[in-house]
Structure 1
């Protein structure tokens, strides 16, 4: 491979690894806050146990995410120095604010983990809310920077130099709202389904600790099901924005190869030379109808730009199809879950945690959110090629001239593989092993319960 391909591959691997932890950093704090809120309302020790276990998991994943995020920030400067030279002043604000949100999350996560017996219950709960909010805000700031790469704004190019920089206009670019909503919903849906699948497995195999896993499953579904239902709506919004600002990316996503009325293409593999499909199912006019309300509306195809300005068609189309398939399955499962919940309330039938068919479906669907997430980011990044900033900077012009990038690619691959093994081991040992094989501890003996929720905990003894 060329150094450019090694640089792109290394960045792709780093982003694919880090995005998992970034998403969990958004979703997991919400789960632990809901569990603590339910404990404050009911004084059910199982809810307290859930909050503490999920806090441990959040801390482990947050630490690994901090390492991978730090490496990623160095890679931006090492692999893409020309990009950082031109774009740093324009998108420095969202990156700086992301750092502020990150440190806020870290500080309050420390308070949440170690101040159970040292501050009043409401103050402790508020610390968890700050962790959840700052995690979501951190993700939003990063997405603002990525959205700017798709819809550049807030600067002018004069003789190849960036001038008249407006950081606010750059951060609040036209693509940011749809991408932020789509990414945030994806984070909650992916985390909710993954956690639900773990506890669904425990219930399906007949664990003796049903109360613990039922409570966990209920909270996970509270996060996962509604966001999975909303995700197709946000996806439609995002796709319409892409159609307006990056028509060639949309054409590659949808497999619309030649300009004219656009069919909805299912499956298949596009031929980049002949601009034809192999093995695709097409619904004539459906994409034109979806975008413009007219089945005969003309939609720009891949052929609307020269070959050197086209993204890799096969990868983008396949990734988009995978994302749509995963999202559709999750939304359908959410509808089924909502129907079964409504049916139970009406007929007093079998509850969702006792519905073995539903539990099996959750187990099978548990990785789909993260698969869709990885596929969606592939569409976003590969679909923008050959531009690192749409219509402004080409990726080939932004890569470092330093040779030997294959060595750094191998080293960073080994680093990420090591981190992956470490995080799986820590989660299994600290969370999954104890959560599945042992009876939940009654932490009320460790944490004195005040007579009023607003009262302070007694001072720790010793």
Structure 2
């Protein structure tokens, strides 16, 4: 492994862990706020217990997210100094605002955790809502910075210099809305299904039935609504990528040849050498419709793009297929869940429905990881699309391979710590709220 691959691998590893902590940190406070609201309105102790249990989970992921996020901030400067030298002054605004949102979130979380029986009940509830809103704002601001890498704006590039810098235009670049919308909904899907799956498993085990049933209903509702909305944001993102980053769309679909009425490919194994896809199901015209809203429109293929600018097709295509496949599976479960609410209420207590959710526990986060792989790998070989190549941004410092191994050990240790803390928290819930 050379230093360039090691630097990319270290960044990928860090992002892969951090995105899970971030998603949960963005979304769990809203679950917590809903349970808290039910307790204030109904006075049922089970909702207070759910709120307190979830608030401890929020605290765990806030702490781990802060650690992994801090590491990422250092890595940007240490691993990619060429990138930060030029890009820092341009897209630094969303990062600085994200820091402000983070501090607000930390203060609000402190108020919420230690405010029980000390604050007015509605003020206490509002502090929990602020935790969610500020966490969501943090996520959107970071995504805006990433969107700038896919759609650079807010500067002029003249004779190798970045001039006429406009941080506002950089932050609100052409890609920020579609990426922020898609990521926000994905966070609700992933966290909703993960939390609902854990509670479904506990119901199947016969433990604290009322507690876990109330928890399951809140998480499943959030996750299922988001799963049914996700295709809309996916359509917006696909049309945006088709215009701005045709190479990425071509890699996502392993679309080697420019043509009209282009086929949408389901599955398949790309053969990059012979420019074809084997064993794929093709839906004629559907890629044209997905990209441009017209079944007969022309879709740019990789043949129109210089080969040195091609993204890694196989990785991008497989990641895209995984993202779509897991998303469709969660959509199906969501449709069944809401059908049971309106037409077959007896299904809600059936073991098979709970088993579906338990099995689907990791699907949302698999989709999130695959989606970020599409976003980052599909942009290659550019770190700033069509402006700076990734190879030109990497640090000249030797020994990055050893740094990669060290950070791998750190993140694996962090993952073990988080799993231990969550397992301990679940056991504590069982002991404290056993009567429910």
Q: Which category describes the TM-score, using the shorter chain as reference length?
A: over 0.9
State the number of aligned residues.
435
Aligned to 2:61: 61
1:9 deviates by 0.4
Q: Using the TM superposition, name which of 378-387 and 218-227 deviates more.
A: 218-227
| Alignment deviations for residues 58-100 of structure 1 (CA, whole Å, 9 cap, x no partner) | 1011101111110110000000001000000011100000011
What stretches of structure 2 of length at least 5 have no aligned partner? Answer: none
Aligned to 2:192: 192
Report if the CA contact (8 A) 2:289-2:296 is conserved.
yes
Report if the CA contact (8 A) 1:202-1:436 is conserved.
no
Counterpart CA distance in 2 for 1:16 and 1:440 is 36
Counterpart CA distance in 2 for 1:167 and 1:398 is 21
Q: What secondary structure, in the 3-state scheme, does the structure 2 residue paired with 1:350 have?
A: helix
Counterpart CA distance in 2 for 1:2 and 1:289 is 41
Aligned to 1:448: none
Question: Which 4+ stretches in 1 moved above 4 angstroms?
Answer: none
Question: Which of 379, 388, 392 is 1:397 aligned to?
Answer: 392
User: How do residues 175-190 of structure 1 correspond to structure 2 at under 5 angstroms?
Assistant: 175-190=175-190
Aligned to 1:240: 239
Aligned to 1:350: 346
What stretches of structure 1 of length at least 5 have no aligned partner? Answer: 443-462
Counterpart CA distance in 2 for 1:5 and 1:334 is 39
Q: What secondary structure, in the 3-state scheme, does the structure 2 residue paired with 1:265 have?
A: strand
Counterpart CA distance in 1 for 2:194 and 2:430 is 15
Counterpart CA distance in 2 for 1:425 and 1:386 is 39
Aligned to 2:378: 383
Counterpart CA distance in 2 for 1:257 and 1:315 is 15
Aligned to 1:102: 102
1:438 deviates by 5.1
Higher radius of gyration, 1 or 2: 1
Q: 1:116 to 1:440 in 2, by over 3 A?
A: farther
Counterpart CA distance in 2 for 1:97 and 1:380 is 23
Q: 1:440 to 1:123 in 2, by over 3 A?
A: farther
1:350 deviates by 1.1
Counterpart CA distance in 2 for 1:42 and 1:178 is 38
Aligned to 1:286: 286
Report if the CA contact (8 A) 2:239-2:292 is conserved.
no
| Alignment deviations for residues 115-150 of structure 1 (CA, whole Å, 9 cap, x no partner) | 112111011001001001000000000000001111
| Alignment deviations for residues 256-305 of structure 1 (CA, whole Å, 9 cap, x no partner) | 11111311111112122221112222222221133334433221001111
1:161 deviates by 1.2
Q: Using the TM superposition, name which of 270-279 and 397-406 deviates more.
A: 270-279
Report if the CA contact (8 A) 1:49-1:441 is conserved.
no
| Alignment deviations for residues 435-459 of structure 1 (CA, whole Å, 9 cap, x no partner) | 24553589xxxxxxxxxxxxxxxxx
TM-score (norm 2): 0.98
User: How do residues 53-452 of structure 1 correspond to structure 2 at under 5 angstroms?
Assistant: 53-207=53-207, 209-261=208-260, 262-344=262-344, 349-350=345-346, 352=348, 354-429=349-424, 431-436=425-430, 439-440=433-434
Counterpart CA distance in 1 for 2:229 and 2:294 is 25
TM-score (norm 1): 0.92
Q: What secondary structure, in the 3-state scheme, does the structure 1 residue paired with 2:280 have?
A: strand
Report if the CA contact (8 A) 2:259-2:298 is conserved.
yes
Report if the CA contact (8 A) 2:239-2:290 is conserved.
no
1:172 deviates by 0.5
Q: What secondary structure, in the 3-state scheme, does the structure 1 residue paired with 2:346 have?
A: coil
| Alignment deviations for residues 390-426 of structure 1 (CA, whole Å, 9 cap, x no partner) | 1001000000000111000001001001100111101
CA RMSD of aligned residues (A): 1.2
| Alignment deviations for residues 348-401 of structure 1 (CA, whole Å, 9 cap, x no partner) | x4151x121110110111111000000000000000000001100100000000
